[in-house]
Structure 1
Amino acid sequence: MSDHLPDDREAVREALIAWYEDDHRDFPWRRTDDPYRILVSEVMSQQTQLSRVEEAYADFLDRWPAVEDLAAAERGAVVAFWSDHSLGYNNRAKYLHEAATQVVEEYDGAFPEEPDELQELMGVGPYTANAVASFAFDNGDAVVDTNVKRVLYRAFGVPDDDDAFGAAASALMPEGESRVWNNAIMELGGVACGQSPRCDEAGCPWRRWCRAYETGDFTAPDVPEQPDFEGSRRQFRGKVVRALGEYEELKLDELGPRVRVDYAPDGDDGREWLRGLLADLRDDGLVELEEREDGPVARLRR
């Protein structure tokens, strides 16, 4: 299934990691490798807005700062905390308390480090086990959540199939770097490639490879209808990339009519507008613009 991925996978990996390390959302659970704290964050984040999770996470750890504290707590108190903080699905609180008890009683307070072993903990399924192994021990497989599926589907045309997503995610992840990679690709889905994409605004590092960005079709498994982008700058950028993909090079006045039907060389949406669009694409490493005596020529960067 990894046949859907670009040939230059190392460049794909480097671009994403550099983008993530340059700037990303600063959640408290990203500043720790404590498996207990990471497990708490993962369980809280299931179907709960992260803005609500941040406050609850801090309060929870103030009250039960270590796995031993949670194991020693009354289960009713943990469930009451869950309910008071509107975290939903109170069974999660019961499972988290039971998992803490297992760690203390069966593992002498030391979390198992392998995803398969972590799944032995109450309420810890494959996704959560993999996340804890990745973020606590840098020892996980590629994480595949809704955000990751959306990114892989849009960027590389990976079919809407769990096995296909798993194979593609695993083929992309650099060996031994599950912590930074899984954080990075989930951040990409959360910040740049959400249900309404923000490709240019978020500086998506995969625009040069992305099929959705090239075609303008941003549907996805969780986005059955095309987000509104008609007439947007993103749409015109995609048209530029498509047009240049069909020709070795094009002069501005040859490219313009292929980008918009109302292109008028000297008008508001003429050469200067097109130059600005090409300048953005050049800055993103997608196109080259060569100045010649008979006028500028645009081509895709190879």
Structure 2
Amino acid sequence: MHILENKEGFRHSLLHWYRTEKRDLPWRRTSNPYYIWVSEVMLQQTRVDTVIPYYERFIAKYPTMEKLAEAEENELLKMWEGLGYYSRARNLQAGVREVVANYEGNVPTNRKEISTLKGVGPYTAGAVLSIAFGIPEHAVDGNVMRVLSRILLIEEDITIPRTKRIFEDVVMDLIDKQDPSSFNQGLMELGATICTPKPKCLLCPVREYCQAYDEGRQEELPVRTRKKRGKVIPVAIFSVQNEQGEWLLRQRPENGLLANLWEFPMVELTTNESAEETLFKQLGLKVDAVSDIMSFKHIFTHLTWEVKSYCAVLKNGKRVPDGYKFFTATEVEELPKPVPVVKVWDMINGGENENDKK
């Protein structure tokens, strides 16, 4: 067990800093467990600045768990459009439905029960329990592991799942029993703003307790093995119109990557054939007036799409592939679409996708 000698001093310094310096974020103005749950799910894999407007729109649209439980999936996915990792939205709704059906709309207040809810892992469970209910429970994410690996000179590889247990035990040893909410959020805030990958040690409120700083090793920690490079797939997206100016899209399968979202015709570019030839070979689509729109990379957890996108017109009288339908521009706007399709659509319409501003 990694032990900090002056726990009381560490707690006091961290809590004083957090209470005076914390960022004013909308989910910090509430103790509603549902709202905190929503914010924690949105913040997974996503920057705070990006999440804020999504969170505010989401809570305005679904102010109660009952409202979210009743929402249609297409509407929910449209509200989530641009945040990515859409399974988070589906799992959140499934978990909320369980609370409404099995717990009379009251989020469970113990780790065992809350952890049975769909999509609620150890971190989310601990965050909701400590922040919403003031229960001393660990909430260990990447920020917390980075902070504590430096404070306590923990050299175990944080990419190995079992290592997380070390940090969970450390948090339970250190946590402030009177204010676990501020303690856990203080660790998260410190990791997000000061104890970053390139740490700002001179600004750190707990520098005097940091063993890595004492040894000049803060930038060596945390220890993490390098991720293997994910598979790179070149793809072409075709925004195809008919004579009436309508757009051709299909809904992706209900399982797998980007499930149930709507997309323009898309093909993998696996040969030396042109994108247009590949479109005909893979989907049987014959198009005219092909022009470039934009090229970009879209990175998933396990793979990267290298996207080339095109505008085109369906050749007169040609059939469309099974599963595809034409939509007016207004209808396309309302459909929930994955980020790559949103980027192409915004470019067609002369807009700017907010994800490009990151």
Q: TM-score, normalised by structure 2?
A: 0.58
Counterpart selection for 1:158 from 150, 154, 159? 154
**Secondary structure of the equivalent of 2:209?**
coil
TM-aligned CA deviation for residue 173 of structure 1: 0.7
Report whether the alignment pairs 1:221 with 2:222: yes
Q: Deviations over 1:198-236 (max 9, x none)?
A: 122xx31211121222222221136789xxxxxxxxxxx
* Residue matched to 1:263: none
- Distance in 1 between the 2:11 and 2:172 partners? 12
Task: State whether residues 33 and 107 of structure 2, in contact with CA within 8 Å, keep that contact through their aligned partners in structure 1.
Answer: yes
* Residue matched to 2:132: 136
- Distance in 1 between the 2:67 and 2:136 partners? 26
TM-aligned CA deviation for residue 16 of structure 1: 0.7
- Distance in 2 between the 1:94 and 1:157 partners? 38
Q: Deviations over 1:112-158 (max 9, x none)?
A: 11122111211111111111111110114122111111111112212
**Secondary structure of the equivalent of 1:2?**
coil
* Residue matched to 1:212: 212
TM-aligned CA deviation for residue 176 of structure 1: 4.1
Superposition pairs of residues 1-302 of structure 1, within 5 angstroms: 1-3=1-3, 5=4, 7-83=5-81, 86-160=82-156, 161-200=163-202, 203-217=203-217, 218-221=219-222
Task: State whether residues 116 and 129 of structure 1, in contact with CA within 8 Å, keep that contact through their aligned partners in structure 2.
Answer: no
- Distance in 1 between the 2:134 and 2:103 partners? 20
Q: How many residues align?
A: 219
- Distance in 2 between the 1:167 and 1:64 partners? 36
- Distance in 2 between the 1:58 and 1:219 partners? 37
Q: TM-score, normalised by structure 1?
A: 0.69
- Distance in 1 between the 2:209 and 2:51 partners? 34
TM-aligned CA deviation for residue 21 of structure 1: 0.9
- Unmatched 5+ residue regions in structure 2? 157-162, 227-358
RMSD: 1.7
Task: State whether residues 150 and 212 of structure 2, in contact with CA within 8 Å, keep that contact through their aligned partners in structure 1.
Answer: yes
Task: State whether residues 134 and 179 of structure 1, in contact with CA within 8 Å, keep that contact through their aligned partners in structure 2.
Answer: yes
Whose relative contact order is higher, 1 or 2, with alpha carbons under 8 Å and at least 6 apart? 2
Q: Deviations over 1:247-281 (max 9, x none)?
A: xxxxxxxxxxxxxxxxxxxxxxxxxxxxxxxxxxx
**Secondary structure of the equivalent of 1:25?**
coil
TM-aligned CA deviation for residue 168 of structure 1: 1.5
More helix by share: 1
- Distance in 2 between the 1:107 and 1:48 partners? 30
- Distance in 2 between the 1:162 and 1:109 partners? 31
More strand by share: 2
* Residue matched to 1:291: none
Task: State whether residues 112 and 118 of structure 1, in contact with CA within 8 Å, keep that contact through their aligned partners in structure 2.
Answer: yes
My pick for the range that moved more, 138-147 or 51-60, is 138-147
TM-aligned CA deviation for residue 70 of structure 1: 0.6
- Distance in 1 between the 2:93 and 2:154 partners? 38
- Distance in 2 between the 1:222 and 1:40 partners? 30
**Secondary structure of the equivalent of 1:40?**
helix
Q: Deviations over 1:8-61 (max 9, x none)?
A: 211111111111111111111111110110111011111011111001000111
Q: Deviations over 1:180-209 (max 9, x none)?
A: 110111111111100011122xx3121112
